[in-house]
Copies of this chain bind each other. A is one copy, B any other.
Amino acid sequence: MTATVSKSQLAYRTIKERISDGSYSPGYRLVLGRIAEELGVSAVPVREAIRLLEAEGLVQFERNVGAQVAMLDPTEYQVTMQTLALVEGFATAVSAPHMTPDDVARARAINDAMALTLEHFDPATFTRLNLDFHAVLFESCPNPHVLDLVHRGWARMRALRESTFSFVPGRARESVQEHAELLDLIESGADALELELAARNHRLRTLDAFLAHYGAPDGVPTSSTTGEGER
């Protein structure tokens, strides 16, 4: 009656959820038998779920050794964030023409709520609202592949950054400001390319801020590779 979800699906969703919400933090070792027992299923569906999560990059897997939640790694962070910027920028541009005035209003309301969280230090809420904000932007996206890429990127970032990946101290206020500008652009019916770059650079600036704050990885150039920016 409850849509009779398969046990593989159950294992997949449960593990993914636990990675996202931090119950399984980066490096946590995922033992098939233990998880299977815990969920009341056999090891086979758990293994299947873990292989899927491996394909998404959420867990690392080694044959005959086991799986663990993907580790926190600045380089990982950079390329993932870069890819997310690419995909989100595109998704924004494609979605914008399909957004209703009501959609824009909802996005503004969420952004206002984000501004309120700045009064207190609350990275988790900030990140959650940030996801909601972008979710509103993308919900009219007619390209399901791109949407899927966005969601995978988010799942990765959540796993890597423990639920606060959008929040960089000293950058949050600008982020809210840029959101507002982005909505203005959308309302003004701006050019698709202009929108895409605005949305992309919004993420890339967060990336730069993060790298500046936590230190850039070794050989990777910190300039964000693509955009209008100053070289």
A interface vs B, CB < 8 Å?
6, 8, 44, 47-48, 51-52, 55-57, 63, 79-80, 82-83, 86-87, 90, 93-94, 142-146, 149, 192-193, 196-197, 220, 225-228
**What is the interface of chain A mostly: helix, strand, loop, or mixed?**
helix
Report B-chain residues with C-beta under 8 Å of the C-beta of A56. 55
A83 touches B145 (CB 8 A): yes
What number of copies of this chain does the assembly contain? 2
Separation of A67 and B193 alpha carbons in the complex (Å):
39
Give the distance to chain B from A66, nearest Cβ to Cβ, in Å. Answer: 14
Give the distance to chain B from A186, nearest Cβ to Cβ, in Å. Answer: 14
B225 touches A79 (CB 8 A): no
Separation of A151 and B5 alpha carbons in the complex (Å):
31
A55 touches B57 (CB 8 A): no
B48 touches A90 (CB 8 A): no
A86 touches B87 (CB 8 A): yes
A225 touches B145 (CB 8 A): no
Known: A87-B86, A145-B79, A149-B149. A93 touches B225 (CB 8 A): yes
Most buried by B among A79, A80, A86: A86
CB closest chain-B residue, reference A200: B90
Separation of A56 and B148 alpha carbons in the complex (Å):
11
